Amino acid sequence: MKGFLPRTLHPGLQIMMLLVLMVAGACVGYAIIFGLAQAVFGLSLPEVQKVMLYPASYPQGWSLLMMAQGVLLFTACAGGALALAWSLGYSWAEYFNPRRLGAGWWLLAAAVLILVIVPFMSSLIAWNAGAHFPGSLHDFEVWARASEDRAQVLTKFLTRLNSTGRLLVAVLVIAVVPAVGEEPGVSGRDSEKPGALAVAARGRVGGRGPVQRHSHAVFGFVPRFVLGLVLGYLYLWSGNILVSMAAHFTQNAFRLLVVYLSQRGLFGWGFDPDATDALPWTLAVPSALLSAGLLYFLYQRMTAPAAPTAMLTLSHHGVDVRRGEPLA
């Protein structure tokens, strides 16, 4: 397959092209959202805008916002990434999985890593949430914290999981769609070549909760960036997008499950999943050490050269054993 862009296009230009395609995908997404809002909810364009601005005031507010988030994430992130692969002349499997999955346990290990790192991440969240700017940036800090408060209200509304049905919808929209949609947007075959650039571009996921990512540009940046680096290196080392997808899904699904159980009163000791307080250091320190150990273990296993296979051939001298090419 031949694309209209050269495969040797500079990685920086690829990222710029990706951003352009993501904007185009977002435009398509908004058109789909307005079309579905009219077909499913019977809302006109002005009504859709009102519902999205004040969702708590309308009975269809939760459903419309969830639908909009799912559609927009998929069309902008996944759509832009798929379009970039096509424009470079790659098949999608070739572009996003330049290496075969080394072993099925890689997926499980990536999921375990994300769970183990949670207490350590809580310390970063608490530190970043309490950060203060110099006096010269006081007005900016006031604006940023006000934006944070507004985002918190929206987050609490969207994560009001008062039924199993809502939980399942939230898992689909906030865990499955971002894992499938966002990962292709920050991964790809050519991103392997400039590894640092690819991982740096990937450092943008995480923070307190999956719904909040878009609003935590200031007081949630550090934890999101660190978690994004973890996901980026998992992809860089494994060469297979399924590994980072598994980690991304686990991170979002785990937080949703905690929110759901908390709202149903199953955490009797008053656990607040939306709080920015750090977990005790007796959990955070082992979490940091175990996470570092797991990362090193995965780095060794995922980057180790595949073992060569032995080939048996018959000749008049008997059986001849020769070293063959690696399977992977």
What six digits make up the tokens of 249?
């899904």
Percent of the chain with pLDDT over 70: 79
250 domain-assigned: yes
270: left (phi over 0), alpha (psi -120 to 50) or beta: left
58 domain-assigned: yes
pLDDT of amino acid 66: 92
Say yes or no: 78 and 116 in one domain. no
Cα dihedral 73, 79, 82, 84 in deg (nearest 10): -110
Task: Provide the pLDDT confidence category of residue 152 given band limits of 50, 70 and 90.
Answer: confident
Say yes or no: 206 and 288 in one domain. yes
Listed residues 56, 90, 124: the one ending a domain: 90
Instruction: Give pLDDT tens digits for 235-261.
Output: 889 988 899 999 999 999 998 998 898
Q: Please state, in angstroms and rounded to a whole number, the distance separating the CA atoms of residues 5 and 85.
A: 10
Say yes or no: 109 and 83 in one domain. no
Listed residues 43, 66, 90: the one ending a domain: 90
Q: Residue 247 sits in which domain range?
A: 101-304
182 domain-assigned: yes
Say yes or no: 108 and 240 in one domain. yes
324 domain-assigned: no
Residue 194: pLDDT over 60: no
309 domain-assigned: no
CA quadruple 304, 206, 76, 197: dihedral positive or negative? negative
Please give the model's pTM, rounded to 2 decimal places: 0.81
The mean of the pLDDT values for the chain is 81
Range picked from 92-106, 108-122, 172-186 for highest mean pLDDT: 108-122
Strands (E), the chain: 308-315, 318-326
Say yes or no: 31 and 111 in one domain. no
55 domain-assigned: yes
187 domain-assigned: yes
Say yes or no: 201 and 288 in one domain. yes
Residue 193: pLDDT over 60: no
Of 21, 32, 117, the C-alpha closest to 77 is 21
Q: What is the mean pLDDT of residues 301-322?
A: 64
Say yes or no: 211 and 168 in one domain. yes
Between the CA of residue 96 and those of 84, 187, 302, what are the distances in Å? 11, 7, 16
Percent of the chain with pLDDT over 90: 36
How many domains does the chain divide into?
2
pLDDT of amino acid 323: 52
Say yes or no: 28 and 156 in one domain. no
Say yes or no: 261 and 122 in one domain. yes
24 domain-assigned: yes
Say yes or no: 17 and 126 in one domain. no
Instruction: Give pLDDT tens digits for 200-211.
Output: 445 444 333 434
Say yes or no: 80 and 108 in one domain. no
Of 82, 76, 120, the C-alpha closest to 214 is 76
59: phi then psi, degrees, rounded to nearest 5:
-65, -30
Please, is 47 exposed, middle or buried when counting C-beta atoms within 10 Å of its C-beta (0-12, 13-18, 19+)?
middle
99: left (phi over 0), alpha (psi -120 to 50) or beta: beta
User: 221-238 and 281-303 helices cross at what angle (nearest 10)?
Assistant: 30
Say yes or no: 53 and 141 in one domain. no
Listed residues 29, 61, 90: the one ending a domain: 90
Instruction: Give pLDDT tens digits for 2-16.
Output: 777 787 888 778 888
Residue 195: pLDDT over 50: no
